[in-house]
Amino acid sequence: MAQLIADRRDVDFVLHEQLKVKRLARHDKYAEFDRKTIDLIVSEARNLAIKELLPTQKLGDEQGVSFHKGKVSVPESFHRAYKLFCEGEWVSMTEDPSWGGQGMPHSVSLAASEYFVGANCAFMIYPGLTHSAGRLVEAFGTKKQKELYLKKLYSGEWGGTMLLTEPQAGSDVGALSTSARKNPDGTYMITGNKIFISCGEHDLVENIIHPVLARIEGAPGGTQGISLFLVPKIWVNDDGSLGEFNDVVCTGVEQKMGIHGNATCSMALGGQGKCRGTLLGDENKGMRAMFHMMNEARLLVGLQGFAFATTSYMYALNYARERIQGKNLLQIKDPEAPSVPIIQHPDVRRQLLTMKVYVEGIRSLLYYIGFLSDKMATTDSAEQRATYQGIIDVLIPIAKGYVTDRCFDVCNMGLQVYGGYGYIKDYPMEQLLRDCRITMIYEGTNGIQAMDLLGRKLGLNNGKAVMDLLGAVQKTLSAAKAVLELKNQAETVEKAANKLTELALHLGGLAASEKIQEAFAFAYPFMEAAGDVILAWLLLWRATVASAALNEGRSKKDEAFYEGQMKNAEFFTQVILPVTLGKMDAISKTNGAAVEISEAAFGG
């Protein structure tokens, strides 16, 4: 079953040949993370994922969570898996060891997480949100808050959530109505209702710490008047002991299309007037705190989508090699010709190669973003850190929006490779497709990601962030042009990158004019085009590395792998990128039909 989560050879290729992460060990922060240690971490993650988490995936989907009188029980198999996950100290892989983390590079943690999330995403949301809550405490908490909560969260002994969404305030967070009233002792009484709260209540831990967005009485309206509070399910006394129940009640769980093993809860805060919280950060600065964590949260959702896609691809590839159906086209007229594995059929090969280029390109994208975070942590130059952060900021809406769109497509193709068998529950493909769909919605719908890219990220630092990213692209293009087999492909990618730059200027200009609605009507297609260009760059980068390896004759057994990287770049630039260029032509015309049509003309 190992090959049915992720391709270890490709994981190693990105870490060690494309990004060369072992070079991080030259710096004191990551001195212990040499090649041997990194490989050991990935191997241990892989073993835990395959042996303990993967068997719980189907069970969790079938059993789901149960709700009774405010209490939520997770699938029984999750308890052993959670215990082992916490014992392995996997909850906080990148965090400071003094707070219970492992202090490993972000790029390496992404490789480990790929196996974990691919094995059971619904399960991984529990420790994932716990880690995110801990990061908020570490970034904005007082000394007392850190002492009370941080080690408990980073160890997984306590759980964590994020209480943002309300019935009337989904993407429009500024419309929330949850209120906070200050008490004489400095705590706050919290009153309100939240919905769609992942892990809001469950029985994996004895206490759950809820970061809650609320408005202090008298604060300004909109997002500028929102504050962030720490609200424990069970009150935590000053000495760290647990006190009384804190009037945080789960009122129900959602019956969802997918991720059945994760509890998505409706929460009532202060229904009995006894819910207390402590301010996390400054008054009226809650949204700033949340945006501080937004990159990490959106990258995590991109990783979730990717994990579904890579798992779907590995299953589809394995199935196509084993499923015997039909004759080879070259022998179609021979009545004696045997039936062959479906991987020999051209249309199946087209689907598999399409899946392959997206999976492997996206792996490089996500790991690259993690690697930029690692480089930020290992430089003393404030200017260099700002450069890395700017590139990350530009890539995040693509890593969430574009990535989860394409990953859902990959899961859909994976099901198609299975044919009718893919549609039934005896096989894993229909669950992967169902589970993947949520990644296009939560942590900001993909339409919002497109608006973020166009409205905020293109002009970030007066356009410097985008130019720095294009500088990295140009470096790859120069290297690829020096390789005879890649010269034409490099020129195609360069043409697409130049066209994308022109399009960004065009849409940016419209967005700053009276034609702002027309501009944002094309934000989504622009994000798709930008994602294609970024993926083309990364696949070309991979191909230049593979070309060098082939020329050096590094390993006979790896020839097919490296040749596959060359074909990846060829297929993407010759088959997919021309469609992207056509899409950019359409975007450049910026037709106004979508905003000009009257509501009545939609019909209904």
Compute the distance between CA of residue 228 and CA of residue 289 in angstroms, rounded to an integer.
8
The number of residues making up the chain comes to 604
Given a contact cutoff of 8 angstroms between Cβ atoms, the answer to whether 258 and 322 are in contact is no
Nearest to 176 by CA among 190, 199, 194: 194
d(CA 562, CA 552): 12
Annotated active-site residue in 443, 494, 518, 570: 443
List Cβ<8 Å contacts ≥24 apart for 457-460. Answer: 457/393, 457/394, 457/396, 457/397, 458/394, 458/504, 458/507, 458/508, 459/508, 460/390, 460/393, 460/394
**Cβ contacts of 556 within 8 Å, gap of 6 or more:** none
Distances (CA, A) of 180 to 19, 151, 224, 279, 591: 47, 27, 15, 10, 46
Tokens standing for residue 213: 């967005």
CB contact at 8 A, 105 and 367? no
Contact 368, 534 (CB under 8 A): no
Side-chain-side CA neighbours of 260 within 13 Å: the count stands at 17
User: Environment class of residue 171 by beta-carbon count within 10 Å: exposed (0-12), middle (13-18) or buried (19+)?
Assistant: exposed
How far apart, in whole angstroms, are the C-alpha atoms of residue 595 and residue 604? 18
Strand partners, 438: none
The label of the residue with tokens 């899946």 reads: 355
Find the helix packing angle between 286-322 and 346-377, rounded to 10°.
150
3-state secondary structure 99-155: HCCCCCCHHHHHHHHHHHHHHCHHHHHHHHHHHHHHHHHHHHCCHHHHHHHHHHHHC
What is d(CA 117, CA 404) in angstroms, rounded to the nearest whole number? Answer: 14
State how far the Cα of 462 lies from the Cα of 458, in Å rounded to an integer: 8
CB of 85 within 8 A of CB of 102?
A: no
> Is 559 an annotated catalytic residue?
no
User: Exposed/middle/buried for 604, CB within 10 Å: 0-12, 13-18, 19+?
Assistant: exposed
Q: In DSSP terms, which residues pair with 188 in a beta bridge?
A: 182, 277
In the chain, what is the straight-line distance between the N-terminal and C-terminal CA atoms, in Å?
49
Q: Specify whether the CB–CB gap between 530 and 500 falls below 8 A.
A: yes
Q: How far is CA 108 from CA 158, 181, 245, in A?
A: 25, 43, 39
d(CA 164, CA 213): 6
Catalytic residues: 443
